[in-house]
Amino acid sequence: MSSTAHMHGGIGESIKRKEDGRFLRGKGNYIDDITLPGMLHMAILRSPHAHARITSIDTAAAGAKPGVIAVVTGELMAQHKLAWMPTLSGDTQAVLATDKVRFQGQEVAAVIAETKYQAEDARDSIVVEYDILPAVISPEGAKAAGAPLIRDEKEGQTDNHIYHWESGDKGTTQAAFAKAAKVIRLHTFYPRCHPAPMETCGCVADVNPGTGKATIYMTSQAPHAIRTVFALVTGLPEQNIRIVSPDLGGGFGNKVPVYPGYVVATAASLLIGRPVKWIEDRTENLISTGFARDYHMTGDLAVDKDGKMLALRVHLDSDNGAFFSDAQPSKFKAGLFHIVTGSYDIPTAHITADGYYTNKAPGGVAYRCSFRVTEASYLIERLVTNAAIELGIDQAEFRMKNFIQPEQMPYHSATGWVYDSGDYPKAMNVALEQLGYDEMRKDVEARRKKGEVTGIGIASFTEVVGAGHGADFDIIGLRMFDSAELRVHPTGKAMLRMGTKSQGQGHETTFAQIVAEELGIPASDVAVEEGDTDTAPYGLGTYASRSTPVAGAATAMVARKLRDKARKLASHLLEAAEEDLEWERGKFYVKGSPDRAKTIQEIAFAAYTNLPEGMEPGLEGVHYYDPPNMTYPFGTYAVMVDIDKGTGQVKVRRMVAVDDCGVRINPMIVEGQIHGGLAEGYAIAFMQLITFDDDGNCIGSNFIDYLLPTAWETPKFETGETVSPSPHHPLGAKGVGESPTVGSPAAYVNAVIDALSPYGITNIDMPVTSDKVWAALRSKGVTE
């Protein structure tokens, strides 16, 4: 039995999680666990077609079904100017379709009834007639001559093109390519996938008919921003809107956007005067809410005769679905993709991106990713391994030769980023040593001689997380700062509230540890609350690995503010000058007389009972933190795979992951985040695929077709670390939750490509399934 003695819980201690108790007892409070008096249930009717004109909707039979209170259509929503809503990328999205349906699964009508079963029964009685139109399912189809116009309702929209976006310098890049000894090209498709948290999305909307106050319990990673969006969409005064994000059963980006179901449930509650619950089923979740990726990318890497990288050129076509609703800063149409030069000192780069409407679900969410960094990292790391193979240089050596060096930090990249810190060669060396790279290379060569198909893949990713600075990074204009409010009660216990929202990351523990470190109150005495916009300070939420970089910094800063006040109080209590006091975690003492001390608990009590003349009572504060820069976590991942020639099955033999996320506040929690991300990276590399047939039917609409890895498939992970503190973060911390999902897909696929390289196979797009590997081997005559 391990010890249960409570530790102080400062930074660097792997204390056990404070939030565990309720989950272990089945007493978590997830969205579907909320029941209000008089609550009704909503079911949504969705389009069976990818593209069709609605000719009629008949709700008479549905309205007459037992228990039905109302049937809502787009026409009714239009009467309240709510048939359309703005997206997070400055486009519009249909709430309930009025003219056409533009993807399979689009919201067409909703039934509100006394029970969930009654609502679903009645939904099936709504009769909708459609004129089916041809569907567009790829950017290629979207730009083809004669392609159907998807957004015909948009003024001035004459084709399916959404945006063109560029970064870097075209001229210098062209010049560098002209001088290159060799150019390596990779065309790859990062397919559509879905975050699929274990809990789907949903809400309970409760508009009080007496006060007009709208309380909306909602699966939201960003409740404050959502409150503002709701105020703008509905016209309700913002002080009359309260968003409460309860315990979330995972998010991974899926729970950032505003979905039509939330809007319809709120409108229904307003019109009916009773609370309305809407909970997606899994198919609704997979076919209609926040997909990710769907990038078609072509990268060219120019190198000189010595294997030094000279320039990078990338073009990508983005498949955005029927509405451009990427959740991303408004300045950047392709998210933060321009981090694509990665860990390498590439003097010049040029990136062009074009977005297209298709008859697929909207989304473009940052699935365990900082706004398209995953796509960028995948492209550069795959391209670098392919280049090494083509040049006949070892993958690790080629990377070492081209890494940005630690002494170049802060490093100004060719596309305008300022990397804050990092020692890439060091992380690489730790990973190679942990894998036993030289030995394993010999092992690979020996096995290949025996006819085995085996290989090693490496990826040395650089992430960019922790948005803002607010001048460059926003959500619909809201600057991406975050906040922390700290209240120390008279008995020395504390309450911390932030503008972020945990979805399983352990905020109740990690953020209490920051207070424990900075103000000396044990972590077990600090309660952490998030998610209720009536009580928490305004913040932009939890996604893009920003909670520790931004709200964590805000927590440190507010704790320091209170410590400054505590010093004044201690000076009063100890009758000593402030400058004569020393701080030791948890107490102030008089220099040279450690016995003359006051603990933070004694000081807190005095803040309410025994104040110096003229001092404001209380020990509370709030801090809004707008970071000066992003943080740049990085690492090197190394994977060994063995491939069965007869079946194409890929088995991961080893997976070594060395991460550098700066200072780790709770190493146990950080390690847990890395495990989870490596598993999702594996899932994306080998299993998860949302695809469509030619008519736009979504293939991958349930967990039988959309494959998530179980414990049986998921490899075991061997983790390691280096520590390069962020120079601008008050604690030296960086974000980490997404690094493993960003870095690992390329490492897995590079291992497969390395294994197949003796046969001249240079690419297989994800997911790398057995049938694709087998077909590739067969095309080279390696297998029958």
Footprint of other proteins on this chain (CB under 8 A)? 1-7, 9, 15-28, 30, 32-33, 116-117, 195-200, 247-250, 252, 281-282, 503-506, 508-509, 512, 522-524, 668-669, 671-672, 675-680, 702-704, 708, 710-712, 714, 716-717
> For residue 35, what are its two tokens?
């029941």
Min dist. Cβ of residue 6 to other proteins (A): 5
Q: In 432-481, which ranges are E strands?
A: 453-462, 474-475, 478-479
- Kindly list the strands in the beta sheet with 453-462, ordered across the sheet, starting from the edge strand earlier in the chain: 453-462, 634-643, 650-660, 718-721
Residue 542 CB, nearest distance to other proteins (Å)? 12
Q: Catalytic site residue 448?
A: no
Q: Do 502 and 512 touch, CB atoms closer than 8 A?
A: no
Tell which residue, 484, 545, 538, has the closest CA to residue 514.
484
For the bound state, the minimum distance from the C-beta of residue 600 to other proteins, rounded and expressed in Å, comes to: 17
Residue 200 or 750: which CB sits closer to other proteins? 200
User: Tokens at residue 722, please?
Assistant: 């280096």
| Residue-by-residue DSSP string for 560-613 | HHHHHHHHHHHHHHHT--GGGEEEETTEEEETTEEEEEEEHHHHHHHHHH-PPT
Nearer to other proteins, 460 or 505 (CB): 505
46 catalytic per annotation: no
CB 514, min distance to other proteins, A? 14
Residue 396 CB partners (closer than 8 Å, separation 6+)? 428, 432, 437, 458
Instruction: Give the Cα separation of 90 and 105 in Å (integer).
Output: 22
Judged by CB, which is closer to other proteins: 77, or 641?
Answer: 641
Q: Which residue has the tokens 């929202």?
A: 501
**One-letter identity of residue 302:** A
Taking the complex as a whole, the smallest distance from the CB of residue 28 to other proteins amounts, in Å, to 5
* Residue 253 or 363 with smaller CB distance to other proteins: 253
What is the Cα–Cα distance from 397 to 754, expressed in whole angstroms?
15
Rounded to whole angstroms, the Cα distance separating 388 from 203 reads: 50
SS3 of 377, please? helix
* 221 a catalytic residue: yes
What is the nearest approach in angstroms of other proteins to the Cβ of residue 174? 44
Query: CB under 8 Å, gap of 24 or more: what pairs does 510-513 form?
Result: 510/548, 510/552, 510/665, 510/666, 510/669, 511/484, 511/551, 511/552, 511/555, 512/9, 512/18, 513/9, 513/10, 513/11, 513/13, 513/15, 513/665, 513/666
DSSP 3-state assignment of 320? Answer: coil
**Size of the chain, expressed as the number of residues it contains:** 784
Tell me the closest approach of the beta carbon of residue 590 to other proteins, in angstroms: 31
Q: How many Cβ atoms are within 10 Å of 617's Cβ, its own excluded?
A: 9
- Side chain identity at 184, as an amino acid letter? I
Nearer to other proteins, 145 or 711 (CB): 711
List strands edge to edge, sheet with 494-498: 526-530, 494-498, 482-488, 620-625
Tokens 């990377």 belong to 399
Among the options 193, 201, 369, 661, which is catalytic? 369
Give the C-alpha separation, 253 to 262, whole Å. Answer: 17
Residues 364 and 360: their CA atoms lie apart, in Å, by 11
Q: Which of 368, 382, 497, 546 is catalytic?
A: 368
Of the pair 286, 312, the CB lying nearest other proteins is at 286
Q: In this complex, which beta carbon is closest to other proteins, that of residue 30 or of residue 189?
A: 30
CB of 154 to other proteins, least distance (A): 36
Q: Which is nearer to other proteins, 78 or 708 (CB)?
A: 708
Query: Measured from the CB of residue 507, what is the shortest distance to other proteins in angstroms?
Result: 11
Residues in contact with 656: Cβ distance below 8 Å, sequence separation at least 6, in sequence order: 431, 434, 435, 637, 638, 639, 718, 719, 720
Instruction: Name 770's Cβ contacts closer than 8 Å, sequence gap at least 6.
Output: 644, 647, 648, 649, 650
**682, HSE (Cβ side, Cα atoms, 13 Å):** 28
Nearer to other proteins, 162 or 669 (CB): 669
Least distance in Å: CB of 679 to other proteins? 3
* CB-based contact 115:68 (threshold 8 Å): no
192 is catalytic: no
Task: Considering the complex, state which of residue 9 and residue 422 has its C-beta at the smaller distance from other proteins.
Answer: 9
- Selected catalytic residue, list 93, 104, 106, 221: 221
Catalytic center residues: 221, 368-369, 738
